[in-house]
Amino acid sequence: MDLSTLTYIVVGATFLLYIGIAIWARAGSTGEFYVAGKGVHPVANGMATAADWMSAASFISMAGLIAFNGYGASVFLMGWTGGYVLLALLLAPYLRKFGKFTVPEFIGERFYSQTARAVAVICLILASVTYVIGQMKGIGVAFSRFLETSYETGLVAGMGIVFVYAVLGGMKGITYTQIAQYVVLICAYTIPAIFISLNLTGNPLPQLGLIGSMADGSGLTMMGKLDQVVTELGFNKYSEQVLGSKLNMFVYTLSLMIGTAGLPHVIIRFFTVPKVKDARSSAGWALVFIAILYTTAPAVGSMARLNLMQTIQTGPVGEATANLEYANAPQWFKNWEKTGLLQYEDKNGDGRIQYYNDKNPEMAAKAESYGWKGSEMVKVDRDIMVLANPEIANLPNWVIAIVVAGGLAAALSTAAGLLLAIASAVSHDIIKGMINPNISEKNELLASRISMAGAIALAGYLGFNPPDFAAGTVAIAFGLAASSIFPALMMGIFNKKVNRTGAIWGMISGIGVTMLYVFQHKGIFFVPGTAFLGDMSPNWFLGISPNAFGAVGALVNFVVAIAVSKMTHEPPEHIQHLVEDIRVPKGAGAATDH
């Protein structure tokens, strides 16, 4: 059976499964519409949280970033897992004890201010919409390959699917759908990784293959071989290349960790577990399921890079016949060319492909002597690596079909979770909480659907010109959440003296600093051509990339909030009692409904 038919069947079957589960679970639990986690075992809740949280950025984009940034990409691995420690230790149990439904609601009550709530809603929407842009990029890549069309067409098709999906089953009662999506995406990620690890190193466990030896009889370790292959072509040494600088890596990791603990669609999962106790362990289970993918990703990234390099450079560098002839390029190469995400240009007209680092002066000089006229792989979009990986490694077609289904599962489950967070902020916090408290349930639902549609349209539109690769775009969203929501929540729990004025100015200055920094380098709301400082490292403050700036914003938030609180009145007595109350588990009511 040919690949596209098979892909249609596998993707179609998984979609039917999700929709089926959504309908089944919904019929059984209309009363628990919003209270997704109630009565769900912490392990199951952890699995659903993992699916909710692992997005196109984790699934599609991250291994590609690892493949091309090597050690430097460790920031994503540590950043997107270490945040769960902060979440479990600093936020989850207390927010569960507080027992409300949305993040702005907590901020509004703790800081006894509708203004604080409104500022939190705006921060939440900014972070979530940016995050959805990242998903759209991932969905666009997956669909363009799947339908064998351009990225733009793929993006439009993806927007349509997300719209139908979010409106049909994207509500909170779909924990079980997300469990199914987790199973699909984790199988899709690990099966090809096991095959490839077995091929290259003879070890079926990718985590061990990463540190293992090559199975080709060369006696080299996998990492040693990879370092050798990439440095011979003038690229940075894989196991040692840093992302910008050590300081940038440090701040980047911190930004992602704090952002993880500040993203509303993750936090709300802990509002609704049965007990405070469960909020603690649920974060641990979520991390276990996330770690299965995250500890596999370094193997996927490094092995994909090795396979890619060796497909093109088949023998010793410099030997005329050692470069792949374009006419003999494998099918995957031609397929990805159609999407425009892989581009080849025969600069020296020899009909062969030369792929090397022409920015490296030493290598460029050497290449000159071989008769090479610049690297001929003019575009290799990093986001295609995971999807192309099984094809590059010559794995059977059914594996490729599953990977496409897995990528879509990852993107859809996260997009649905985010859209729900946006919709609940608009309908619950703004319309019901501030504008019209007497709104009927039907109209509240309508408002949330309209805001979902608006968010999809906006994110899709901005997705035509994404500010970065999927994972980079998502990193910016984490920065926005890190600089606004996390500090407000943490101070709300751990510092009784932080008051209304402090919290409001803290959030505004934190997200303000971060946005200013991101926009001046990436364009105002990412619209190309509106950046007033170039997006290049010489223009960066202390060499910190815009994607990593959230940690600085968070620091500004903490400092401003505490300083302003010291200069203004203490919070009223009953608020200080409220804080004391959320610090002890005793007396936590059942998960509240709304």
Q: What is the DSSP track for 489-553?
A: HHHHHH-TT--HHHHHHHHHHHHHHHHHHHHHHH-GGG-TT--SS-SSGGGSGGG--GGGTHHHH
Least distance CB 93 / another protein (angstroms): 7
Q: Which is nearer to another protein, 66 or 341 (CB)?
A: 66
Element holding 343 (H helix, E strand)? strand 342-344
**Cα(475)–Cα(137) distance, integer angstroms:** 13
Q: Which is nearer to another protein, 74 or 153 (CB)?
A: 74
Place of tokens 């077995």: 198
Q: Which is nearer to another protein, 442 or 586 (CB)?
A: 586
Residues that bind another protein (CB under 8 A): 66, 71, 74, 77-78, 81-82, 84-85, 88-90, 93, 207-208, 210-213, 221-224, 239-240, 246, 249-250, 253-254, 275-277, 280-281, 283-284, 287-288, 291, 294-295, 298, 580, 583-588
Distance of CA 208 to the CA centre of its chain: 25
Burial 85-108 (b: 16+ CB within 10 A, else e): ebbbebbbbbbbbbbbbbbbbbbb
Least distance CB 191 / another protein (angstroms): 20
Least distance CB 155 / another protein (angstroms): 31
Give the amino acid at 301.
G
| CA-to-CA separations, 212 to 222, 226, 274, in angstroms, rounded | 6, 12, 43
Q: Which is nearer to another protein, 213 or 484 (CB)?
A: 213
Q: Which is nearer to another protein, 232 or 337 (CB)?
A: 232
Least distance CB 279 / another protein (angstroms): 9
**Cα(12)–Cα(402) distance, integer angstroms:** 11
Least distance CB 58 / another protein (angstroms): 13
**Cα(158)–Cα(520) distance, integer angstroms:** 30
Least distance CB 190 / another protein (angstroms): 15
Mapped onto helix, strand or coil, the DSSP state of residue 391 is helix
Q: Which is nearer to another protein, 78 or 194 (CB)?
A: 78
In terms of DSSP H, where are the helices of 151-275?
A: 151-169, 175-201, 206-209, 222-232, 246-260, 264-271
**Cα(179)–Cα(341) distance, integer angstroms:** 31
Least distance CB 458 / another protein (angstroms): 34
Q: Is 319 exposed, middle or buried (0-12, 13-18, 19+ CB in 10 A)?
A: exposed
DSSP E strand stretches across 428-476: none
Q: Give the chain's count of helices (H) and strands (E).
A: 24, 2
Least distance CB 287 / another protein (angstroms): 5
**Cα(448)–Cα(396) distance, integer angstroms:** 43
Least distance CB 220 / another protein (angstroms): 8
| CA-to-CA separations, 369 to 318, 355, 366, 372, 433, in angstroms, rounded | 9, 15, 5, 7, 70
Least distance CB 473 / another protein (angstroms): 22
Q: Which is nearer to another protein, 80 or 163 (CB)?
A: 80
Least distance CB 331 / another protein (angstroms): 32
Contact predicate 421/121, CB 8 Å: no
Question: How many beta carbons lie within 10 A of that of residue 559, not counting itself?
Answer: 14
3-state percent helix, strand, coil for the chain, nearest multiple of 5 = 75, 0, 25
Q: Is 151 exposed, middle or buried (0-12, 13-18, 19+ CB in 10 A)?
A: buried
Least distance CB 65 / another protein (angstroms): 12
**Cα(557)–Cα(205) distance, integer angstroms:** 43
Q: Which is nearer to another protein, 31 or 587 (CB)?
A: 587
Q: Which is nearer to another protein, 183 or 291 (CB)?
A: 291
Q: Which is nearer to another protein, 84 or 151 (CB)?
A: 84
Least distance CB 514 / another protein (angstroms): 21
Q: Which is nearer to another protein, 87 or 418 (CB)?
A: 87
Q: Which is nearer to another protein, 288 or 378 (CB)?
A: 288
Q: Which is nearer to another protein, 299 or 384 (CB)?
A: 299
Burial 346-382 (b: 16+ CB within 10 A, else e): eeeebebbbbbbbebeebbebbeebebbebbbeebbb
